[in-house]
Amino acid sequence: MTTTQSIQSTCTNAQTIFDQVLADYHPSLTLRETGQVQSVRPGIARVTGLPGVRADELVSFPGAGPGQPPLLGIAFNLDPDEVGVILLGDSPDLQAGDTVYRTERVMDVPVGEGLLGRVVTVMGEPLDGRGPLNLAERHPVEREAPAILDRAPVTVPLQTGLKVVDALIPIGRGQRELIIGDRQTGKTAIAIDTILNQRDTGVICIYCAIGQRSAAIAKVIATLRDQGAMDYTIVVVAAGQDPLGLQYITPYGATTMGEYFMAQGRDVLVIYDDLTHHARTYRELSLLLRRPPGREAYPGDIFYLHSRLLERATHLSPDLGGGSLTALPIIETQAQNLSAYIPTNLISITDGQIYLSPELFQKSIFPAVDVGKSVSRVGGKTQLPAYQSVAGDLRLAYAQFQEVEVFARFGTQLDDQTRRTLERGRRIRAVLKQRQSQPLAAAEQIAILFAVTSGLLDAVPLDQIDEAQQRLAAAIAQDLPDLWATIHRSQPLTPTDLETLTTTLSQFLI
């Protein structure tokens, strides 16, 4: 075949294929509802048109350049003449006159097992350099809380590994326990220690950073990796320099990720760090959208902002799998003002609070938990029965010590009973101290707390309390394996068990 014949044959084949494509092509019209950008401000845009747009629907703006993904926003204000949109990304090139399109879907996030061990944004973008997520399933970020009849009582403890919390302010799986205190008092440290203590418990942990500094987030991630906790943890990040829309939507997206595992009958722990930044972000967006301000310039629905989030934390009934989602929201106070607007809102929503005192922090009492101002309204019903042997005496002795300590500062003469109360109280305070990233098992905690409440540590000098605690923890782990198993099987301690515990611990303190 000559070259001319070959070219003619190729052209004939191409023409045949082209004719076939044209024969199979049936053009159709696709209606797309469009609008026009009227103005742009940091974090928001005002749009006209889009008469059919719905509340919380995603709308699409032009991308930053050719080949770039479109900029998304959430239809937030549905006014008669315009739509106020919260932008979910940076908008340096967005300007008045640009076209905006409806997507006819709400904001959703990827869910699935592939999120475990990853650091992501709420949009599903990986931040850990480990490649794309490859998750096909997506769920809406705004979901209704489970109905009352779909919930079951909170009955299983969520051990934090911290003696002061597990013994005096216990938390149950499905509870909402607020961590509250001034800045730099160790709020995040308690949350991270709780994550570290979930190793080998089957609890999925989600750390949600809202408006935090990038350096602080990186430190948390490094701690989780060094302690081997990333295998069962998801980190969802909206840093302080991220767009306001992402900071606003991130806690809802993190909760949706947790609800995926809860629906499978698994236990989930979600930490929101912190909701103070979240409330301020919502206030800023509301003021930009010209929503009427109320107390402290917050909009009127500021309570609903957090109530609809935290009400999604629950323990599902056995008919729905029996999974649970435990929420540990963190909030920052100003000058210990617990009666401020946002703190009181969250205190009324949650099932108790762990209050961190700056005075205790300055005295190097870590964790700086103020037992008197902290409470758990649910966890007492979930606490391991073995704690009942020590928790009641511990709280009473510590409260008496705090009361007597105030009067002892005046240098008045003290009777023998008061001196014994002071000495016992100082040892209780020393025992409740705990180093960061060193959670203890329940049996180890009970051995130490039983020793201090029963007077076994009264003769131990204060500077040797740490060494004594290590010996006591080793004693129950090595010499009392049956008692260890009894405690972790949620069985109460019998008088014989307490006698055996007293004898064994006394030998290790000699």
Each residue of 481-501: pLDDT tens digit? 999 999 999 999 999 999 999
Which positions are catalytic?
A: 377
Total domains, the chain = 3
Domain end (from 383, 411, 432): 383
Mean pLDDT computed over every residue of the chain:
92
Share of the chain above pLDDT 70, in %: 95
Same domain, 283 and 171: yes
> Region 187-208: what's the mean pLDDT?
97
Q: How far is CA 282 from the centre of its chain?
A: 18
DSSP 8-state code for residue 116: T
Length of the chain: 510
| Strand ranges across the sheet with 352-356 | 119-120, 233-238, 204-210, 267-273, 324-333, 178-182, 352-356, 375-376
The tokens for 56 are 């919380």
| Model confidence pLDDT, tens digit, residues 431-442 | 999 999 999 999
26 within domain boundaries: no
Domain end (from 62, 77, 105): 105
Start-to-end C-alpha separation, the chain: 105
List the one residue out of 33, 30, 72, 71 whose CA is nearest residue 49: 33
Is the per-residue pLDDT at 173 higher than 70? yes
Please report where in the chains the tokens 């902002």 appear, as a residue: 305
453 within domain boundaries: yes
Amino acid symbol at 379: G
Same domain, 115 and 52: no
Same domain, 407 and 367: no
Tell me the residue range of the domain where 458 lies: 387-509
Domain end (from 45, 78, 105): 105
Scored b (16 or more CB within 10 A) or e, 195-212 reads bbbbbeeebbbbbbbbbb
Q: How confident is the model at residue 15 (pLDDT cuts 50, 70, 90)?
A: low
H/E element holding 279?
helix 275-288
Residue 124 belongs to domain with CATH number: 3.40.50.300
Diameter over CA atoms, the chain = 121
The tokens for 232 are 């069962």
Same domain, 193 and 336: yes
Strands 34-41 and 44-49: antiparallel
Distance set, CA 442 to CA 69, 153, 266, 499 (Å): 50, 22, 21, 19
Asked whether 238 and 211 are in contact (CB, 8 A), the reply is: yes
d(CA 295, CA 283): 11
pLDDT number for residue 67: 67
Same domain, 253 and 222: yes
> Region 466-471: what's the mean pLDDT?
93
